[in-house]
Amino acid sequence: MKLDKVQISHFRNIDELSLTAHKSLNVFLGENGSGKSSILEALHYLGFARSFRTSKHKNVISHQKSGFTVFCSAVVEDGMQQKFGISRLANDSCVVNINGQKSKRASDLASHLPIQIFTPQSSDLLLGAPKLRRQYLDWLLFHVEQSFNLDFQVFSKSLKHLNALYKTNQPEQALRYWTDILCQKGEVISANRSSLIKEHLIRLINANLKDFLPEFSFEISYYRGWEKELSLEDAILKNRQRDQRNGFLSVGPHKADLRIKIHGTIAHEILSRGQLRMLVAGMQLAQTQYLHTKTYKSSIFLLDDVGAELDEEKRQVFISKLNTAETQLFVTAIDIKQLDFLKNYNDKKVFHVEHGHVREEI
């Protein structure tokens, strides 16, 4: 999937913007506040229906406007062109458009557009809560396993119901019904995650880190969210009395984690901020590589403020590897000097951004 035409309306300081993207590499240059990161933020909505900078959609709508729209045409792997769009209004309503067909389900749009984002805050993947690392795995499963999204939705629904029952001391029959559903879907989700990590991601991540952080040896493992010698059902029954007292289910795939260590110590306790970003870069590159190998789909990769905490050698290695993975890149930087190595790339477009307006370099 490669974006072609991009149109953005009433998004932050962008009133109306239209550009034709390069299928390989797109570079946006501009001062802080010029609007270059807002372009990536708008594209992020196509893949996630949300911002990577704020949790409130109304904050990205231009002043005194009722809503924003992001639209694109894209060329898929078979050469056919498709059209995608998303609009969000100040009342928080969302409308997705796929080839002229409207929907209110953001997942319908996301399934077509595998978008990834790398920012100065990407090290939160390792510094933050386990939920972020579960999302890292689930994004890939969402795009490669057709049944994963439905399995996850059913699991989430059963977890919500079971937690509600735990809070109100409901009869055993109701507990049994939702526990059975949760265990069935939970075991499938856990098996998919475990297989993805052990059979594919560990190998790919470690291969990337040999180029990114060759001075370290990493140990990558998956904690599924309950004791390894028990089935999910047995773990739930074992902890039921305590969980009913606390009012929530304490074991299951919703407690899973991806753990990365160096000589037995959690990686973020050893690595610098710049090294943490390179570790995340290796992890995200592995996502891109596996997605392309498994489905022949290419990722759309948003790389914001590439100069932050990455030296020129690391920037060059990262972008070069993304380029060889058939990824379409959208990169922002304050100064072209931060990307001096790109002068050797012929297949690219450079855009200058100022006050929400974009000018393509000739």
pLDDT of residue 250: 97
Whether the CB-CB separation of 73 and 83 falls below 8 Å is answered with yes
pLDDT of residue 9: 97
The answer, yes or no, to whether residue 358 has pLDDT greater than 90, is: yes
Same domain, 199 and 280: yes
Cβ contacts of 306 within 8 Å, gap of 6 or more: 315, 319, 331, 332, 333, 338, 339
Same domain, 334 and 279: no
pLDDT of residue 168: 87
Same domain, 260 and 204: yes
Segment 114-135, tens digit of pLDDT: 999 999 899 999 999 999 999 9
Beta-ladder partners of 221: 259
In the chain, what percentage of residues exceed pLDDT 70?
99
Q: What is the mean pLDDT of residues 156-176?
A: 90
pLDDT of residue 342: 81
CATH of the domain at 332: 3.40.50.300
Same domain, 58 and 135: no
Q: How far apart are CA 330 and CA 350, in angstroms?
A: 10
Segment 149-162, tens digit of pLDDT: 999 999 999 999 99
Same domain, 281 and 174: yes
Same domain, 159 and 239: yes
Q: Regarding beta strands 328-333 and 25-29, do their DSSP bridges make them parallel or antiparallel, or are they unpaired?
A: parallel
- Can you give the pTM of this predicted structure? 0.92
The confidence band for 257, taking pLDDT boundaries of 50, 70 and 90, is very high
Q: Regarding beta strands 115-118 and 300-303, do their DSSP bridges make them parallel or antiparallel, or are they unpaired?
A: parallel
Q: In sequence order, what DSSP letters do the residues of 85-127 get, joined into one string?
A: EEEEETT--EEEEETTEEES-HHHHHTT--EEEE-TTTTHHHH
Which of 264, 293, 322 is the last residue in one of the domains? 293
Same domain, 272 and 321: no
Residue 348's nearest CA partner among 73, 7, 29 is: 29
In the chain, what percentage of residues exceed pLDDT 90?
74
Top-confidence residue, 177 or 362: 177
pLDDT of residue 36: 94
Q: What is the mean pLDDT of residues 167-185?
A: 90
Looking at the structure of the chain, the number of domains it has is 2
The confidence band for 309, taking pLDDT boundaries of 50, 70 and 90, is low
Which of 240, 274, 293 is the last residue in one of the domains? 293
Same domain, 134 and 282: yes
Q: What is the rounded end-to-end Cα distance, in angstroms, of the chain?
A: 25
CATH of the domain at 224: 1.20.1050.90
When the pLDDT of each residue in the chain is averaged and rounded to a whole number, the result is 92
Same domain, 275 and 158: yes
Residue 142's nearest CA partner among 178, 115, 162, 170 is: 115
pLDDT of residue 195: 96
Same domain, 245 and 146: yes
Same domain, 196 and 269: yes
Whether the CB-CB separation of 12 and 356 falls below 8 Å is answered with yes
Ranges 26-30, 165-169, 178-182, 186-190: which has the least confidence: 165-169
Edge-to-edge strands, sheet with 219-223: 219-223, 257-262, 265-266
The answer, yes or no, to whether residue 18 has pLDDT greater than 80, is: yes
Segment 62-106, tens digit of pLDDT: 999 999 999 999 987 777 899 999 999 988 889 999 998 988 788
Whether the CB-CB separation of 307 and 315 falls below 8 Å is answered with yes
Which of 247, 272, 293 is the last residue in one of the domains? 293
Same domain, 146 and 255: yes
The confidence band for 339, taking pLDDT boundaries of 50, 70 and 90, is confident
Q: Range of 172's domain?
A: 123-293
Ranges 119-123, 202-206, 306-310: which has the least confidence: 306-310
Whether the CB-CB separation of 99 and 82 falls below 8 Å is answered with yes
DSSP reduced 3-state for 191: helix
The confidence band for 285, taking pLDDT boundaries of 50, 70 and 90, is very high
